[in-house]
Structure 1
Amino acid sequence: MKLAPLFAALLLAWPAAAAAFDPGPAVGSRIPPIAARDMAGKPVTVRDLSDKNGVVLVFFRSAKWCPYCQKQLIELKDAKAPLAQRGYRLVALSYDPPEVLTRFSEQREIPYAFLSDTGSATIDAFKLRDPQYKPDSFAYGVPMPAIFVISPRGVVQAKLAEEGYKSRPPVAAVLAAVDGLKK
């Protein structure tokens, strides 16, 4: 069986399947202020995070304990250079503390930036907090996984999200979303 036609069919079907689940700010709307901090503890703005055309902001659950997130973050290493060529910076955000993100990034040789949102303020502002976790859970404050393509002015240009946390858009879908903006 040839995988290329199957992959192409899945890639084309992916946006339609994701359309029913639409968390966070709508495409075309302005994002809320980002309250997360970079690994040095410095607050950042969307302008700080953006390249010429903007930023691809990946919300993920945890680099410490979520194997689906870890897999996604490792796969996204392949997206950094192609996104940079398209004028976008790749940044990943979670509720993990900086030391967890730094350790994961160093161990896995992740070449893109991480943001720590330890109080989940940005996650909440984006309306992405996963409601299945209660305050007594170690996972309280995690976001529903989502990827936003954001202009330097803070406007959502595209969004990729899956209803379940186990399924994540492939790198090809992220690049296709960015490429679709030029049309």
Structure 2
Amino acid sequence: MKKMICIAMLTFGFNVFAQSEIPKLPTEVCPLLISEKIPAASLKSVDGLTVDLAKMIASKKTILVFYRGGWCPYCNMHLAALNDAEKELLSLGYQIIAVSPDSPKSLKAIDDKDKINYTLLSDSDGALSKAVGIAFQAPENYKPIITEGSEGVNKTFLPVPAVFILDKEGMIQFEYISPDFKHRISNELLVAAAKSLK
């Protein structure tokens, strides 16, 4: 009987371990779906201050963007495009929050260089990206880049680029997730989705 219990516990342990691992490929992620809620998270601002994401979301409808880091040229183009769409999105009653594994110091460098008007937040430990279901194992050649960008906190994961439109309760009303990091949502589609949910 003891032997059976030990085998059952070992099997359970392996299953829990397997479920806690993040996917190896971006095409294997399992993100939250429309009508699900973004989990509560404490993130860091560009100034290194702790930010309660749920409180920010509760203040205004939100465009929540996940990007790979300031070292990624496709991410930088996307952030610049969002800057161009910000005025229209603000007029529709939205705020933009962009999250990456970069450290606050790396975020500040991007903010200063590109004059980003909206909020950039750090998820260096990946707690939010993993909870949302968009984290995957970084390929070996990316590990030095992400380690440097996160100041040594993140050595293992990347988020799949994603955009979520949230209501004030944090419920997902729209999402765009692209395992191909070169493809991002256009401003036209994002604004049209935001208008349709107003």
What is the TM-score normalised by the length of structure 1?
A: 0.80
Aligned residue among 40, 43, 52 for 1:44: 52
Is the 1:150–1:158 Cα contact (8 Å) retained in structure 2?
yes
2:194 is matched with 178
Is the 2:166–2:174 Cα contact (8 Å) retained in structure 1?
yes
Structure with greater proportional strand content: 2
Aligned Cα root-mean-square deviation (Å): 2.2
Is the 2:64–2:163 Cα contact (8 Å) retained in structure 1?
yes
2:105 is matched with 99
Q: Deviations over 1:83-136 (max 9, x none)?
A: 1111110010000001111111111111111000111111111111123536x8
2:158 is matched with 142
Question: 5+ unaligned residues in a row in structure 2: which ranges?
Answer: 1-26, 147-155
In the superposition, relative to structure 1, how do residues 23 and 32 fare at CA in structure 2: closer, same or farther (>3 Å)? same
Q: Distance in 2 between matches of 1:108 and 1:121?
A: 26
1:109 is matched with 115
Question: 5+ unaligned residues in a row in structure 1: which ranges?
Answer: 1-19
State, as a whole percentage, how many aligned pairs show the same letter. 27
2:73 is matched with 67
Q: Which has the larger radius of gyration?
A: 2
Letter of the structure 1 residue corresponding to residue 116 of structure 2: I
Letter of the structure 1 residue corresponding to residue 114 of structure 2: R
What is the TM-score normalised by the length of structure 2?
A: 0.74
Q: Give 1:21 shift.
A: 9.2
